[in-house]
Structures are given as C-alpha cells and as structure tokens.
Structure 1
Amino acid sequence: MKKAKIIILISLAIIVAVSVYIIKLYNDIEKTNIELLKTREDLELTTRQLDELNKNYEAISNPDISENLPTVEIDSTQQELIKNLFSEKEATRRASTVILLTEWTKDSTLIPNLVEFSEGRLTNEDYNVSGIINTIFVLNRMDEPLLRHDSLSVSGFINKVSQLKERKETQEQLNKLKQRLQ
C-alpha cells in the first residue's frame, strides 16, 4: 500500500511538472506568434513604402514622364527618403539609404537637404543616432565635386555631430568624411 501511494505521488508530481512545462511552452509560442505578427506588419508597411518609392523613382527616371512632373514631386521623394533615414524601423532606414546611394549621389540638391534635415534632428534630445550614421554614410558616398561644393555646410554638420555623446559610433565615418573634404 505504501509503494502504491509513493507511485501515485511520483506520478502526480510528474503530471504537475509536465503540465507546468506545457503551459510555459504554450506561453512562449503565443509570444512568438505575437512577435511574428508585428514583424509581418512592419514588413508589409516597409514593402508598401518601397513600392511607393519605386513608383516615384520610375516616374522620375522615365524621361517622358519626368519632363512633365513638377519639381516638387522630385523634392518630395527625396525628402521622404531623407526622412526615412531616421525611421525607427531598420528595414525602412536601410531601404532609403540604398536608394539614396544608388540613385541620388549625383543630385546637387541632396547634400543641402540632407544636412539641413539631419541637423534639425540633432536638436532633439531623443535624436536617432542610426539616422545620423546613415546621413554620414550617404555623405561619404556623394560625388566629390558636389561634396566640395557644399563643404561649408558639411563641415558644420561634422562639427555638430562631433559633439554628440555617441560620437564613437560615428567617429570612423566622420573621419572619412573629413578626409574627403580636404
């Protein structure tokens, strides 16, 4: 009789332990599902933004269409790309950086617009250091003549970024940018 009680107690302990494990596993699966849903929503939003940027780019790059587009359309596309360098979503920041690097590095309006927008973000206490890094990264890949043409504003931007707390994250890229300006 004593052995039967012990076996029953051990069986109950095993059942409780397995039940606790199953509940924990179920909770982990639920958390993962919620995270996957959020990631899917972010991906869908980024895809829609990229589709819109691609439409704008196609319109701008098509000579038949771009002749009829007002300059404001082009500027709004550029401004949207610049703004997206500071997005909270990494995928959006990366996509905008790639588009700026592949399509806008020869555009004479990019440097002044990029520097102005980025400097405006530096005044916020909660500025996005990733956006600052992306800005420096794009500036480092601009055409030399354009970079030299806007060297005063770029130098001012470098000085402001050099004063940031997180400057060690930006220092290597800042040094490259300084060298390109010389």
Structure 2
Amino acid sequence: MQERANEVTLQGTPITLLGPALQVGDVAPVFTARSGLEDISSDRWAGRPRLISSVPSLDTPVCAKQAARFNEAVSDLDVAVIVISQDLPFAQTRFREVNGMRNVTFLSDYKDNDFGYKYGVYIKEHGLDHRAVFVIDAGDRISYVEYVPELTQHPNYAAALDAVKKLL
C-alpha cells in the first residue's frame, strides 16, 4: 500500500494518507461501501456525472457543513452526490433524517476501507478518511480532485461545483 506522508495535515501536524494520489484524467476506481447493512458498489453510478465528498465524520461541524453545502447546491442539478465517511451507516441515516438531506447518498467506509484505500484518503494514524472531493464525468474519469490540505478546513466548494456544472 502506497503511503503519502507530509501531503496533508491535521491541526498543523502532518498525517499519512494510504493509497494513490488520484489525478484529473484518471479512471475513477470502483469501490464498495455500506448503506445500512448492504454493500453498495460505486459502479451503480457508472456512466453518470457524480461528485464524491469524503469526510472523516459527520459528527463534526466542518463535515456536517460540507454535506449540507453539497446537498443544497445540487438540488436542481442532474448529478449523483455521494457523501462517504467512516461513520456507521446507522449514524449516517440518523444524520440524513435529522438534517433533511435528500439530494445526497450517504455511504460508510467503515467495513473494509475500500474507498479510502482506492481513492488515497485513508488516514493511517487515525483510521478515518481524509477530507476530499472528486468529480467524475459520465465516462468515469476524474475531472476534478481536491485533497484538502488541512483536515479541519473546508474544501473549495466553488471549484468543485464549477467542475460539476461543466459536465452537465
């Protein structure tokens, strides 16, 4: 497993990401994550534009705001939005219901970290997925990627949403 040290930080301290540093133009890796008690393959969105929003935990303010921001921003766009975290699927369901988020699909990477390893966001030191955004076109190629440099900061929402709009 590829280790990428010193690329990102948590409160200023470098952390290690496991997996590749995906680039614009790469084929989006197919991954499996959980929804409830079901394994879901990302190939269910193959051939469709999508935005994947990776967050460490929905129980933190920045992660909750990130999910809410993308939920609101895509309400009138024909794009699949997946929010993925290490939270248990039941916690994700509660979060979605309490916050009325209907425009995104929540997936949990807790079971085997397949997304984290394939998208290069798994944090070795903490067992969480790093904050990142991936926009994938209908040809299943990555058209935008952001590994947020500091875990506690927000992603560049405007750039990610501009990348989505260019696909529509």
The TM-score normalised by the length of structure 1 is 0.26
Larger Rg: 1
